[in-house]
């Protein structure tokens, strides 16, 4: 048997093994590191017996250096964007902007639980266009979920509608865009693709997701008895912020899309504006420095696991370049290479985004992306929205997501009851968005 076919089969076995590893919920950073090692050394073995073009004139040491040294070093810009985004999210929490936005939303909704729930969904989605990570999600959840419960909304519906609103906001989240963008390193058109190009689809996906979540939650309320337990204000902080501060959550997006500002500058200006209008900088320079330093520390803690994962992912992405010839030999005639073919593939395999499956980038989807880019030449502008859908929608309704697992314990929601509601609706949203992306 041809050595290239043997190596290809071994790579496919490792691919399947990685999927099983992710579905079982093992540590992703370690898993990505292991498969990066496998996908580096198997091509090196294959190249020894049958030289391939990608490794031409490269020594073993040079290949290892490219994968495990140069690749992580080249991801500094992505990690910096994520860190500043985490800092900005902490600003929204520390200043009280997030809690005030929720309080104003409740006042606007009045005594109608459905209207209040929908308005809270919108407010939550707006906040998570800028905030991300388990820390901010939990910080907002401990405010919003008790409010929803106090309105008489059943706990399973309350958890579903809150998490669905977070999901809708994340489509527009610049930090999330940078995180997923990193997976596509080396893809056709990678360097020229930007948040501005992604934004029109992201806005449409966010609105569609939010509408479907709100309609589904409202219909679920009609099928269940609502028992009122008023006590809404008890979950909110007492401090109020000026009305102008409530526009802060969307300022980074407005800066990038409306004025083509750099992302980091947008976070900096928006964050310092929030601290200033909320009077967090009035106690002198020394005190201001302490506050800003604390927010960076808290933001770094929020994103530390993600940053470690992305550094390991950088090595995996680069190792995927070396396995491309073997996947081409093995799968070139099987994996669809046309736009229509990829669209059909995603429509059929949408549910495999759950449980960190092979359509979920924050899972084993990184390997699926590597296979698809190895056998097709489709640009990132076409592939990115599809993978964003199967990652954002499925991951943020999934019980393997850390803050959803926390939310089920916090609201005392049974996993099976949550799955019955969230998984079918998430599947429906993802299919609709795939159709939108294709059109």
How confident is the model over 276-310, as pLDDT tens digits? 998 888 888 888 889 989 998 988 887 788 788 88
Rounded CA-CA distance 303/284 in Å is 29
Q: What is the pLDDT of residue 234?
A: 44
In sequence order, what are the residues at sequence separation of 6 or more whose Cβ sits closer than 8 angstroms to the Cβ of residue 307? 79, 82, 83
- How many folded domains does the chain comprise? 1
Q: What is the pLDDT of residue 69?
A: 93
Cα 86 to Cα 58, 128, 136, 304, distances in angstroms:
39, 11, 9, 10
Domain span at residue 213 reads: 3-438
Rounded CA-CA distance 218/239 in Å is 31
Q: What is the pLDDT of residue 107?
A: 82
Rounded CA-CA distance 334/346 in Å is 15
Q: What is the pLDDT of residue 422?
A: 92
Count of CB atoms situated within 10 Å of the CB of 182: 21
Mean pLDDT of all residues in the chain? Answer: 86
Tell me the average pLDDT across 74-87: 82
Q: What is the pLDDT of residue 233?
A: 45
Q: What is the pLDDT of residue 423?
A: 92
pLDDT at 202 over 90: yes
Q: What is the pLDDT of residue 224?
A: 60
Tell me the average pLDDT across 236-248: 75
Q: Which percentage of the chain shows pLDDT scores above 70?
A: 95
In sequence order, what are the residues at sequence separation of 6 or more whose Cβ sits closer than 8 angstroms to the Cβ of residue 234? 146, 150
Q: What is the pLDDT of residue 218?
A: 92
Tell me the average pLDDT across 362-376: 82
Rounded CA-CA distance 8/73 in Å is 29
Q: 287 vs 333, which has greater pLDDT? A: 287
Tell me the average pLDDT across 356-361: 83
Q: 62-80 pLDDT, tens per residue? A: 999 999 999 888 877 778 8
Tell me the average pLDDT across 108-125: 87
Q: What is the pLDDT of residue 436?
A: 96
Rounded CA-CA distance 17/129 in Å is 35
Closest CA to 233 of 344, 100, 351: 100
End-to-end CA distance of the chain: 43
E strands present in 374-429: none
Rounded CA-CA distance 69/282 in Å is 44
pLDDT at 227 over 60: no
pLDDT at 316 over 70: yes
Q: 239 vs 195, which has greater pLDDT? A: 195
Tell me the average pLDDT across 123-139: 87
Q: Which two tokens stand for residue 154?
A: 């059943």
pLDDT band at 228 (very low <50, low <70, confident <90, very high): very low
Q: What is the pLDDT of residue 112?
A: 83
pLDDT band at 118 (very low <50, low <70, confident <90, very high): very high
Tell me the average pLDDT across 262-278: 90
Q: 78 vs 345, which has greater pLDDT? A: 345
Tell me the average pLDDT across 253-264: 88
Length of the chain, please? 439
Q: What is the pLDDT of residue 1?
A: 62
């Amino acid at each position: 048997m041809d050595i290239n076919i043997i190596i290809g089969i071994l790579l496919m076995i490792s691919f399947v093994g990685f999927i099983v590893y992710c579905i079982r919920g093992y540590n992703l950073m370690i898993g990505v590191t292991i498969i990066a090692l496998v996908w580096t050394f198997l091509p090196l073995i294959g190249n020894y017996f049958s030289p391939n073009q990608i490794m031409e004139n490269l020594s073993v040491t040079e290949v290892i250096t490219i994968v495990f040294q140069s690749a992580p070093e080249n991801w500094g810009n992505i990690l910096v964007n994520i860190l500043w985004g985490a800092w900005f999210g902490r600003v929204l929490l520390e200043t009280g902007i997030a809690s005030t936005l929720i309080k104003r939303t409740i006042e606007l909704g009045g005594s109608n639980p459905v209207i209040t729930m929908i308005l809270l969904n919108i407010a939550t989605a707006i906040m998570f266009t800028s905030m991300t990570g388990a820390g901010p999600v939990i910080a907002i959840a401990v405010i919003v979920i008790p409010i929803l419960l106090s309105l008489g909304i059943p706990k399973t519906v309350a958890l579903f509608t809150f998490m669905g609103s977070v999901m809708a906001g994340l489509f527009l989240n610049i930090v999330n865009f940078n995180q997923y963008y990193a997976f596509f390193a080396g893809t056709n058109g990678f360097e020229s693709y930007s948040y501005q190009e992604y934004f029109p689809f992201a806005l449409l996906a966010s609105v569609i997701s939010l509408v479907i979540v709100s309609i589904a939650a409202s219909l679920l309320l009609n099928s269940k008895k609502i028992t009122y337990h008023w006590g809404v204000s008890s979950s909110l902080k007492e401090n109020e912020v000026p009305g102008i501060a409530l526009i802060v959550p969307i300022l980074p997006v407005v800066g990038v899309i409306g004025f083509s500002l750099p992302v980091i500058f947008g976070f900096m200006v928006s964050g310092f504006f929030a601290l200033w209008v909320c009077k967090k900088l009035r106690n002198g320079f020394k005190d201001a420095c302490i506050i800003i330093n604390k927010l960076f520390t808290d933001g770094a803690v929020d994103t530390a696991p993600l940053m470690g994962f992305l550094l390991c992912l950088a090595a995996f992405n680069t190792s995927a370049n070396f396995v491309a010839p073997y996947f081409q030999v093995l799968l070139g005639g099987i994996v669809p290479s046309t736009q229509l073919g990829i669209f059909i593939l995603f429509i059929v395999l949408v549910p495999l985004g759950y449980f960190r499956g092979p359509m979920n980038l924050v899972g084993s989807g990184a390997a699926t992306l590597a296979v698809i880019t190895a056998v097709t030449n489709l640009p990132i502008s076409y592939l990115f929205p599809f993978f964003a859908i199967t990652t954002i929608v499925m991951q943020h309704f999934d019980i393997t997501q850390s803050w959803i697992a926390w939310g089920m314990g916090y609201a005392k929601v049974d996993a099976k009851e949550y799955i019955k509601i969230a998984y079918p609706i998430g599947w429906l949203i993802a299919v609709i968005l795939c159709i939108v992306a294709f059109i």
